[in-house]
Copies of this chain bind each other. A is one copy, B any other.
């Protein structure tokens, strides 16, 4: 009944990942947040959260600090390797030190338990408010002979459709969204394979090779998918 609900309610279909090992917490969050119209998924620890995020990218992450396997601070660090998604830490620990550590590890907000649900909801809204740009992504990318349909996950080169595997597609899209910009190996690996794969540049070599075989006219002298030696790769939208 707060006085401030003027029809700005575009919160539907926003995905929230809740990470906590205490069932009481996850249960109440799941029901409350679901009632607000959010899509909720729950993970019981940091590792599980990372695993989940490979296939399901949330708009906000809410995480506890104390967890088995991978704690909240570690989770923040790992997530920041691959994503800018807002992270709200929810913890019983209220000391400066804990807050500073979490915030500097990549968290965007820190709420101490016990917390007011109204406040948490408002903080979620505040976080969601400034990520509309990410959601307004075009459903298609075109560049030169290229057209990438993001909804259908299909790619056409000079008229004819080519079939790409999921990872090939993700890789191409990630680069094609940043035309002309060099993306480092680390960034690319973290974004496509997850933050644990940051030290496996072989993946990139293999998949870039595969991609070039499919989308380049002459794979041995690529026009679109270019190597920036010792640094990374970049996508050029046809010269």
Q: Which residues of A contact B (CB under 8 A)?
A: 2-4, 84, 96-97, 99-101, 103-110, 116, 118-119, 121-123, 125-126, 129-130, 151-153, 165-166, 180-182, 228-231, 234
CB distance A130 to B101 under 8 Å?
A: no
When A99-B122, A122-B100 are in contact, do A84 and B152 touch as well, CB less than 8 Å?
no
In the complex, A99→B116 CA distance in Å?
10
CB pair B151–A180 under 8 Å, yes or no, is: yes
Contact between A125 and B104 (Cβ–Cβ < 8 Å)? yes
B residues near A125, Cβ cutoff 8 Å: 103-104
Which of B84, B104, B118, B231 contacts A122 (CB under 8 A)?
B104
- Cα distance, A106 to B125, chains bound together (Å): 10
**Which listed residue, B99, B101, B119, B130, touches A3 by the CB 8 Å rule?**
B101
Q: In the complex, how many angstroms separate the beta carbon of A165 from the nearest chain B beta carbon?
A: 7
Contact of A231 among B97, B109, B153, B182 (CB under 8 A): B153
Report the separation of the CA atoms of residues A66 and B196 in the bound assembly, to the nearest whole angstrom.
Answer: 38
Which partner residue on chain B sits nearest A228 by CB separation? Answer: B153
